[in-house]
Structure 1
Amino acid sequence: MSNRLIIPLLSIALLVILAMNTLFIVKETERAVLLQFGRVVEADIQPGLHLKWPIVNEVRIFDARVLTVDARPERFLTVEKKGMIVDSFVKWRIADVGKYYTVTNGEESRAERLLAQRVNEGLRNAVAERSMQEVVSGERDQLMNELTSGLNGFTQESLGIEVVDVRVKRIDLPEQVSESVFSRMKAERDREAREHRSKGDEQAEIITADADRQRTILEAEAYRDSELLRGEGDAEAARIYAESFNKNPEFYAFVRSLNAYKETFKGREDVLLIDPESEFFRYLNDPRAGRQ
């Protein structure tokens, strides 16, 4: 490579190095401060392309989006001195870049640690002024809104941070308290179950008694109807028998005698002591007896 080519290449390399150390870009999602020998000379650099002096100036760029601090669950006491475990999180973003850098030295972890301490302190004070019912359901949203508003006044002034929202993810009772609460809930549910069971037994007794009563009524009505039908049948049979007997009395007398003989001499061991000339043997002694 000739000397004529080395000089232009070195010039280009120097220009690139100079541009890299002179120009910097701040994105739309970022905030930046310009330092001069460690001192802030420009606290809020807008997004775009900017210039700085090499070696003299330094640029610190931070994330300007909404960030989340997932606070560690803490134990708080309510106004009734009942403990509860509160798990919360905070949404925040940088509001004053210069103050944020001055207080935290631009360390996001330090900012989150300071913010988490303030959130825990605010939650502790807010929970201590309310009952468990109010914290869990009644005034939970109001508590979060008041806490967010109260924290904003402090964090913007002292940390340069805007608190967007504070929310409670979960509220649990301590283990020893949970066991007693669960035992009380179980006892209450057992009592309700016994009440429902006793009401069911009472209803079952009422239904069974009503069914027995209806069965008795139905059986009585069926027996009455059967007796009426049987009586009507017997009456009809007697009528038919009387009409038939009147048409040929001697024939039916003969048939009755045959049935009587059949029933009397049905078994071989049957013995009957009777006068052979009695009326019982009338048709045996004289087949024409009925014709006289």
Structure 2
Amino acid sequence: MRNSFLFMIFGALILFFASVFVVQEGQRGIVLRFGKVLRDADKKPLVYVPGLHLKIPLIEKVKTLDARIQTMDNQADRFVTKEKKDLIVDSYLKWRISDFSRYYLATGGGDVSQAEVLLKRKFSDRLRSEIGRLDVKDIVTDSRGKLTSDVRHALNTGTTDDETAKTSADDAIASAAALVEKETQGKQKVTVNPNSMAALGIAVVDVRIKQINLPTEVSDAIFQRMRAEREAVARRHRSQGQEEAEKLRATADYEVTRTLAEAERQARITRGEGDATAARLFADAFSKDPDFYSFIRSLRAYENSFNSTDVMILNPDSDFFRYMKAPKN
């Protein structure tokens, strides 16, 4: 009896735990009965908010959807601007599920990869269209983020037929929106633009451009032109420097020549004044006794004229030897 009671309690616990399910915070739950989604009166899938809920064991299963903001990083791609110039744009966007029932139906059971494929194609087409309306200057100096704001708004609200040509992404999203209308038998209360992400139950939260680069061939050409311009500027500065150096060198040579000439002139003047002063002193000194001056000059002449190897033939009565004769009494 006791074992039967324990077995009943154990079976009741198993049945209880199999009948309840918990939806975690940041998630939403959709219940499938025999593989089909439980729907409300409008044929929309029932969405369970975070908390504890009940289900029929072994018959119903729970599919959870992530309600948090997702980040989709796009690979850098080539875009053409209004002035027909190529840019390599690296970007990303953040999105979340805004309508869980619509998202579940449009993506074939909440397949994130399928949703991101459609979102990536639509985002690439829209970004290409917006960049094609701007030139490089407007794109690079987009300080207020008007470009990304316009892209986000277009993704969320869609575009009219006369605003841009339809793309394959628009056709794919329209097909998904038609599938939702078919599944709900046209009982959706909210009408959305079939080429907007709202048709998939997705809301784009933010769009950001991480980096804008020029293609390799264009950047190489620009770098070569910049290098040539810098080299031209360098050559101009070098020639100006050489010109200034020649001017300074010529000025220095002129100053040296002028200083040497002035010094030579001053030296000649000083030497002439000294010679004149010496001559005047000699003249004053010897004018006081001319005979003594004549005697001194004769002695100097004897000193410079006679040596052991010279032979002179002179008349002894010459006036040159007058001071070598005996004085007359």
> Shared fold (TM-score greater than 0.5)?
yes
Match among 81, 84, 88 for residue 84 of structure 2: 81
> Does the alignment pair 1:101 with 2:97?
no
1:175-186 matched pairs, under 5 angstroms: 175-186=216-227
Letter aligned with residue 192 of structure 1: V
State the superposition RMSD in angstroms.
3.9
In structure 2, C-alpha distance between the alignment counterparts of 1:122 and 1:225, rounded to whole Å: 91
Q: Is the 8 A contact 2:23 2:49 kept in 1?
A: no
1:197-236 matched pairs, under 5 angstroms: 197-235=238-276
Q: Deviations over 1:163-212 (max 9, x none)?
A: 23222233333344344434433333333333333333333333333333
1:101-120 matched pairs, under 5 angstroms: 101-104=104-107, 105-120=109-124
Consecutive unaligned residues in structure 1, runs of 5 or more: none
In structure 1, C-alpha distance between the alignment counterparts of 2:290 and 2:7, rounded to whole Å: 156
Q: Larger helix proportion, structure 1 or 2?
A: 1
> Does the alignment pair 1:90 with 2:93?
yes
Match among 69, 74, 83 for residue 71 of structure 1: 74
Cα distance, 1:136 vs structure 2: 3.3
SS in 2 for 1:50: strand
Q: Is the 8 A contact 1:72 1:87 kept in 2?
A: yes
Aligned to 2:215: 174
Q: Is the 8 A contact 1:34 1:57 kept in 2?
A: no
Q: Is the 8 A contact 1:34 1:59 kept in 2?
A: yes
Letter aligned with residue 87 of structure 1: D
Aligned to 1:130: 134
Q: Is the 8 A contact 1:134 1:140 kept in 2?
A: no
1:241/1:172 CA distance change after superposition, 3 Å: same
Match among 6, 12, 16 for residue 8 of structure 1: 6
Q: Is the 8 A contact 2:126 2:155 kept in 1?
A: yes
Aligned to 1:26: 24
Q: Is the 8 A contact 1:33 1:98 kept in 2?
A: no
Aligned to 1:163: 204
Q: Is the 8 A contact 2:97 2:202 kept in 1?
A: yes
In structure 2, C-alpha distance between the alignment counterparts of 1:249 and 1:40, rounded to whole Å: 155
Match among 154, 167, 180 for residue 150 of structure 1: 154
- After alignment, is 129-138 or 236-245 more displaced? 236-245
Cα distance, 1:125 vs structure 2: 0.8
In structure 1, C-alpha distance between the alignment counterparts of 2:127 and 2:81, rounded to whole Å: 11
1:247/1:81 CA distance change after superposition, 3 Å: same
Cα distance, 1:14 vs structure 2: 5.0
Alignment size in residue pairs: 283
Give the TM-score normalised by structure 2.
0.67
Cα distance, 1:22 vs structure 2: 0.5
Q: Is the 8 A contact 1:78 1:132 kept in 2?
A: yes
Cα distance, 1:40 vs structure 2: 5.2
SS in 2 for 1:170: strand
Aligned to 2:179: none
SS in 1 for 2:126: helix
In structure 2, C-alpha distance between the alignment counterparts of 1:162 and 1:81, rounded to whole Å: 32
SS in 1 for 2:145: helix
In structure 2, C-alpha distance between the alignment counterparts of 1:40 and 1:235, rounded to whole Å: 136
Cα distance, 1:98 vs structure 2: 2.7
Cα distance, 1:151 vs structure 2: 2.0
Aligned to 1:52: 54
Q: Is the 8 A contact 2:99 2:202 kept in 1?
A: yes
In structure 1, C-alpha distance between the alignment counterparts of 2:4 and 2:211, rounded to whole Å: 68
Letter aligned with residue 39 of structure 1: V
Aligned to 1:192: 233
1:17/1:234 CA distance change after superposition, 3 Å: farther
> Does the alignment pair 1:35 with 2:31?
yes
- After alignment, is 7-16 or 107-116 more displaced? 7-16
